[in-house]
Amino acid sequence: MTPTPEDQLTDLLNVLDLTFEGKTTVRVASLEGVDEDLHDSAGEVFVGSSQPMPHGRVFGGQVLSQCVVAAGRTVDHDDGDGQRHIHSLHGYFLRPGDANKPIRFLVDRMRDGGSFSARRVHAVQDGRILLSMIASFQDLSEGLDHQIPMPDVPAPEDLQPDAELLAQIDHPLARHAAARAVELRHVDPQLYPGSDAEPSESQSVWMRLPGVLPDDPHLHAAVLAYASDYSLLEPVLRKHGIMWGDPRLRIASLDHAMWFHRPARADQWVLYTQVSPSAQGGRGLGQGHMFTRDGTLLATVGQEGMTRLKA
């Protein structure tokens, strides 16, 4: 039976509820993956499970969001100036993960300064790094304040949910996407077979969780990071008239960067505007901005992905 969005939401929250294993040393392979080239990595270790995936590979946004949770767990205390909030992350996807095996998250406390904290997180499975991320946290403080304006787009209530369109496609990946935890509503025609989408290097998507989250800023940031990986490479495909399901398409995230400008709630509608300024060499770049319904800029996102077409 296909899981409902409510089931997927519960599953996502369970996946983000990492278990603390303590401080330990783990043998980790080098980035080259040579079996003999191992080194010891010590730090605080958390472990988490993965969401089931039709193809058995872990969703990259899930690992990214779990890294945010793991790092946040080490800065979730009040240092006298309030809790520190994540303001940026930079990560590289190094290997695919197995959705049927647990993932361990090794957190290195790189620095705790007067107002900033830096953390490095390795997501490790079978002794190999899946994702390596550095994140920075800061006390909330006053300062210069400006932002770009939100574009004028239709409200989410005036758009058809992606899930309704996906439910009409007889394919296991489409059925899985139709029941995902984050509700999406594309402003522009979706990139599915038979779509009348015109070539364009930009698009906008409304998104939210269909339930209420606890008042945990790290959790809301983690969910936004999770959702940011869903569609950021779509403008690359849209520019060239390529649809999801094209048998020639080979696509995978390579890196991910995110700047959190202002506190956000992932259980309220967020407009995710996206553009691809360039594609070349089998790689495509996506950039995005996230806004609240009232136009407040929440975050800026950047991702480069492998985008190849096989003959």
DSSP, residue by residue, 78-139: B-SS-B-EEEEEEEEE-S--BTTS-EEEEEEEEEE-SSEEEEEEEEEETTEEEEEEEEEEE-
50 contacts 15 by C-beta, under 8 angstroms: yes
Neighbour tally for 115: CB within 10 Å: 13
Catalytic residue check, 195: no
297 contacts 147 by C-beta, under 8 angstroms: yes
The active-site residue out of 125, 203, 274, 303 is 303
Catalytic residue check, 41: no
Q: Which residues are within 8 A (CB) of 127 and not within 5 positions of it... i.e. 6 or more apart?
A: 26, 27, 28, 29, 38
**3-state helix/strand/coil string of 222-255:** HHHHHHHCCCCCHHHHHHCCCCCCCCCEEEEEEE
Structure tokens at 147: 């932002």
- Helical (H) or strand (E) element with 73: helix 60-73
Amino acid in position 42: A
Catalytic residue check, 255: no
Q: How far is CA 156 from CA 160, 239, 250, 275, in A?
A: 8, 24, 31, 20
13 contacts 66 by C-beta, under 8 angstroms: no
Dist CA 218 CA 117 (whole Å): 14
Q: How far is CA 249 from CA 25, 128, 170, 252, in A?
A: 40, 27, 19, 10
The active-site residue out of 65, 203, 229, 231 is 229
Q: Which residues are within 8 A (CB) of 233 and not within 5 positions of it... i.e. 6 or more apart?
A: 251, 253, 276, 284, 286, 303, 305, 307
> Which residue is listed with tokens 């309030």?
82
The active-site residue out of 253, 274, 276, 287 is 253
Active site residues: 229, 253, 303
